[in-house]
């Protein structure tokens, strides 16, 4: 019998939007947490927040923060993010909000323009974080 997934834990955060498909909010595996991409969805209504790419970025990062906290880590432990933008011309506006969340030693990051995002979102952000020493 394979023991490949003994240290794999599904993470769900009560104060983040529920998954809108067959995926987990995050998976804790070994010393890392891998999140699913987060849109700027209001966790209560499930709708995109109003206010454009800045508001959606703020909400997506807030959602990521809640998910990481539920996994026993946080934004300070993020080592890599991937940002998906519906329009690469929104990069500077997304980046200004992103910089509010990652003020020191920001994680490695890729930013990519995509043809479309679920629910018509302007931005989606996923992250990989390490676990604090006491959580490993």
- Cβ neighbors of 118 (< 8 A, separation 6 or more) are 20, 39, 124
Is 37 part of a structural domain of the chain? yes
Range of the domain at 22: 8-135
Question: What's the pLDDT tens digit per position in 82-94?
Answer: 999 999 999 999 9
In a domain, 108, yes or no: yes
Is the overall model pTM greater than 0.85, yes or no?
Answer: yes
| CATH for 79 | 3.30.1330.40
Share of the chain above pLDDT 70, in %: 94
Per the domain annotation, does 59 fall within a domain?
yes
In-domain check, residue 2 = no
Residue 1 lies in a domain: no
Beta bridge partners of 124: 39, 84
**DSSP strand E in 4-133: where?**
8-11, 26-29, 32-35, 38-39, 78-85, 108-113, 123-130
pLDDT tens for 24-68 read 999 999 999 999 999 999 999 999 999 999 999 999 999 999 999
Number of domains in the chain: 1
Tell me, what's the pLDDT at 21? 83
């Amino acid at each position: 019998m394979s023991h490949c997934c003994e240290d794999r834990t599904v993470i769900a955060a009560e104060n983040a939007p529920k998954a809108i498909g067959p995926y987990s909010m995050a998976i804790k595996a070994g010393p890392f947490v891998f999140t699913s991409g987060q849109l700027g969805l209001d966790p209560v209504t499930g709708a995109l927040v109003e206010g454009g790419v800045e508001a959606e970025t703020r909400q997506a990062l807030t959602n990521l923060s809640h998910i990481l906290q539920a996994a026993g880590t946080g934004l300070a432990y993020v080592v890599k993010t991937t940002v998906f933008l519906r329009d690469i011309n929104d990069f500077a506006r997304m980046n200004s909000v992103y910089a509010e969340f990652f003020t020191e030693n920001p994680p490695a990051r890729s930013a990519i323009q995509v043809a479309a995002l679920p629910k018509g979102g302007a931005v989606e952000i996923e992250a990989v974080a390490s676990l604090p020493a006491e959580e490993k």
